[in-house]
Structure formats: structure tokens, C-alpha cells
Amino acid sequence: MNFMSVQLLRCRPGFLAVLVTLAGLLLAGVAFGQEVRVHYKIRGFSPDQKQMLVQIDDINSSDPFLQVWDVDPPAPAKKAQKTAFVKSEGPKFIRETRKKLKMADAGVEDWLYPLDPKDETKSLSFFGLMAAKDRFVLACTDKQKLGKVKDIPIKIDEETKTPAKAKLEGIFWTTDRKLLIAVVSQKIDTGTFLSERDEFHVVRFNPSDILWVDNSPEPPAK
């Protein structure tokens, strides 16, 4: 037994308890470092609908921040800076930032699409559903039939092959309702690592492009 071992054996129980507690905190810190959660909201669009102002909420950041992104494909604009803000000052800060960046269109967050501006009952409702283990679908309904708007592939963890669980988090539009951006979160939990990240999925929306499911009954067999 070496000198260090003898010294540890002579330590009082209280000191050993402190060591155990510190070790636990260190391990907890490692575990917390394996958690990633990033969520997005759109706070404005440029007049040409080529860029958008994105609010990013990151669990590893004390405050949310704004950043300019390109719309298609969705990605941070070249040399775009992240600007943090305090949540309590969010609405005012977002308005001022939008004005400064000339994001004239504040956009609309709405899970409905009006088919007849004069009749609120005539609209499309959007939702998301798992169509297969590897495919999530952005879908809609007019209260009579179901339609597919866009297929979204499911992410898979490369090491554990764990598939993500997808969820539709939000539907954002330009004010003219010609551009739809769906925010879909994909959550992978392997037991030792948790990743929950939002993604943007862009649709140049036209109701005529919806792939409707035929619910008509099959003709009787002859």
C-alpha cells in the first residue's frame, strides 16, 4: 500500500463524504454537458422574402438572441451576428431590430390558412404526423379530407441508430401567405445524450399543390 492510500484511509468520514459529493457534481456536469436544446421562432421577413429574422433560444445560453437567416436554404446569413436580448424587453427589442434591418414584414404565426377571407369556417388546419419510422409529414385538413404538404426525413443518431421523435412546433407565414415555414423539432435521446433541435422547412405555398388523400369508398367487387 503506498503512502497516498494510507493517508486516504486515515481521513475522517466527513472528508470522504465531501470528496464523494465533489465527484458527483463533476459527473453531473458531464451529464448536463450532453444535453442540447435549441428552438427557433421567426420574427420578421425581408420585403423580397429571401431573408428572415430568427429568434434562437438555446439551453446553453442565458438569454435568447436574434440573427438574420437566409430563407432558402435555411441557414444563417453570411457574416450575420447574434444579438442577445433580455426576455422582458423582447417585444420592443424585436420591433427595433426589425426596423433597423428593414425587415418590413413582421410575418404571421398561424396554424390556419384562410380559404375564404369572408368565411372564417373555411380554412386549412395544419398539423404534423409520423408516417413511418424514417418520415414525418407536414399535413393539413379542410375538415373533410386530409392532405400532405411536405415530407420531412427523420434524423438518426449515427452511433446508436436511435431515430428522432419529430414534432411540429410552429407555422410561420409572410403576411401575403405565399411563403410558409414550418418549425419542426427533432429529439434524439440515447440515454446518455439528449439533442432537441428545431429545423426550418420552407414551402412556397399554394393550396393547389396539396396532395389530398382520397377517402372515397372502394367500389364493390364484381
Residues 84 and 132 in one domain: no
Q: Is 201 inside any structural domain?
A: yes
Return the bridge partners of 112, or none.
125
Average pLDDT over residues 80-108: 95
pLDDT interval class at 30 (50, 70, 90):
very low
pLDDT in the model for residue 121: 86
pLDDT in the model for residue 217: 55
Q: Is 92 inside any structural domain?
A: yes
Distances (CA, A) of 218 to 105, 141, 142, 144, 213: 47, 21, 22, 17, 13
- pLDDT tens digit sequence for 143-177: 999 999 999 999 999 989 999 999 999 999 999 99
pLDDT in the model for residue 177: 97
pLDDT in the model for residue 22: 41
pLDDT interval class at 215 (50, 70, 90):
low
Instruction: Name the domain count of the chain.
Output: 2
Distances (CA, A) of 97 to 84, 114, 124: 11, 29, 32
Residues 87 and 188 in one domain: no
Residues 154 and 216 in one domain: yes
Domain span holding position 49:
34-106
Hey, what's the cell of 18?
465531501
Q: Is 172 inside any structural domain?
A: no
CA separation for the pair 128, 169 (Å, rounded)? 9
Q: In what order do the strands lie in the sheet with 112-114?
A: 112-114, 123-132, 135-141, 146-153, 211-212
pLDDT in the model for residue 43: 98
- pLDDT tens digit sequence for 131-146: 988 899 999 999 999 9
Average pLDDT over residues 32-59: 92
Q: Is 121 inside any structural domain?
A: yes
pLDDT in the model for residue 8: 38
pLDDT in the model for residue 16: 41
Return the bridge partners of 70, or none.
51, 75
Best-predicted range by mean pLDDT among 5-9, 31-35, 57-61, 148-152? Answer: 148-152
- pLDDT tens digit sequence for 47-71: 999 999 999 999 988 899 999 999 9
Residues 214 and 123 in one domain: yes
Q: Is 62 inside any structural domain?
A: yes
Q: Is 10 inside any structural domain?
A: no
Residue ending a domain, choose from 106, 136, 156: 106
Count CB atoms within 10 A of the CB of residue 2: 6
Residues 192 and 222 in one domain: yes
Cα-only R_g, the chain: 25
Residues 153 and 206 in one domain: yes
pLDDT in the model for residue 219: 58
